[in-house]
Amino acid sequence: MKKKNIVINADGAAMLADAIRRVSEPSRRAFLQRTVTLGGLALLTGCSTSDADSIDAALTGMSRFNDKVQGLLFDPTRLAPTYPESMITRPFPFNAFYGEDKVKEVDGDAWRLELSGLIADRKPWSLTRLRGLPQTDQVTRHICVEGWSAIGKWGGVPFSTFLRQVGADLTAKYVGFKCSDDYFTSIDMATALHPQTLMALTYDGQQLPPRYGFPMKLRMPTKLGYKNPKHIQAIFVTNTYPGGYWEDQGYNWFGGS
């Protein structure tokens, strides 16, 4: 048993190291389709995806890689690692499908979160009303498939609290998001209800700055960066596969652990 496990560990580490090398290749689509669990592995090990050696070491130290780690990766109730505030990456990176000079400026007073689909109470929400719900915060690692990761602190409303409050059909398959910058994505209901999935209204204790998704973004430490929509304008609950901006171009839909 022990010997077999060591072999599997080495394979896993080699697969990951190979995947990390591919991050720098121009054709990232091939990389993304082959390495579904890279984000999840990096979350588990707490390593930067650009740090091949530390991931290698962490994986080699894990026993029963195949069964146990795979089980961890796909357990919807498993918590992603949290970090002390001293480990927050400053400045936290900006990323979008456009440059930082094109960041969407949303008017927070006029903004209303639109709700549709399998939701009982589809009345739009103002920012003030969202701020009135119970808030929590988390210091977690954001992992982008472009080959960087960073630790940040987000505060806001647990998404499960919100979904229950509006009477969303929690047995539905998907939750979809439409953003003010025409970005869009969607997640599975298990992830929507995950205890660390947050409707983030603050970053590092301040109102969410425009570049990080004002007025509201969805923060999920169990998912890769592109699954975390910024500038959310509308949320819908559905059983019809909604896809996403990058997902429709070949990025893996599950995109995380």
Is residue 214 close enough to count as binding ligand MTE by CB under 6 A?
A: no
Cα 169 from Cα 150, distance rounded (Å):
34
Question: 36 is in the binding site of which of ligand MTE, Mo ion, none (Cβ under 5 to 8 A by kind)?
Answer: none
Under 8 Å between Cβ of 154 and 198? yes
Residue number with the shortest CB distance to ligand MTE? 225
Q: For 72-115, give the DSSP string.
A: HHT-TTPPPP---GGG--SSPPP--SS-GGG-----TTT--BEE
Per CB under 6 A, 162 contacts ligand MTE: no
Would you say 65 or 212 has its CB closer to ligand MTE?
212
The span of 27-35, 75-83, 156-164, 224-232 binding ligand MTE (CB under 6 A) equals: 224-232
Q: Which two tokens stand for residue 136?
A: 């929590």
Stretch binding ligand MTE (CB under 6 A), from 32-40, 48-56, 130-138, 229-237:
229-237
Nearest to 185 by CA among 248, 238, 105: 248
**What tokens does 105 get?**
């400026």
Write out the binding residues for ligand MTE, residues 168-207 only, by CB under 6 A: 179, 181, 183
122 binds, among Mo ion, ligand MTE, none (CB under 5 to 8 A by kind): none
Q: Are 243 and 252 in contact (CB under 8 A)?
A: no
Alpha carbon separation from 196 to 84, 95, 192, 221, 253 (Å, rounded) = 16, 22, 9, 7, 19
Q: Which is nearer to ligand MTE, 12 or 229 (CB)?
A: 229
Specify whether the CB–CB gap between 213 and 200 falls below 8 A: yes
Query: Closest separation between CB of residue 113 and ligand MTE, Å?
Result: 14
174 is in the binding site of which of Mo ion, ligand MTE, none (Cβ under 5 to 8 A by kind)? none
Among 111, 226, 253, 254, contact with Mo ion (rule: CB under 5 A): 226
Report the relative pairing of strands 136-144 and 114-117 from DSSP bridges.
unpaired
228 binds ligand MTE (CB under 6 A): yes
**Segment interacting with ligand MTE, rule: CB under 6 A, options 4-12, 160-168, 188-196, 228-236:** 228-236
Nearer to ligand MTE, 10 or 96 (CB): 96
**Binding of residue 225 to ligand MTE (CB under 6 A):** yes
Alpha helices by DSSP H, listed for 124-192, are 127-131, 159-165, 189-192
- What residue ranges bind ligand MTE (CB under 6 A)? 93-97, 144, 179, 181, 183, 211-212, 225-226, 228-231
- What residue ranges bind Mo ion (CB under 5 A)? 144, 225-226
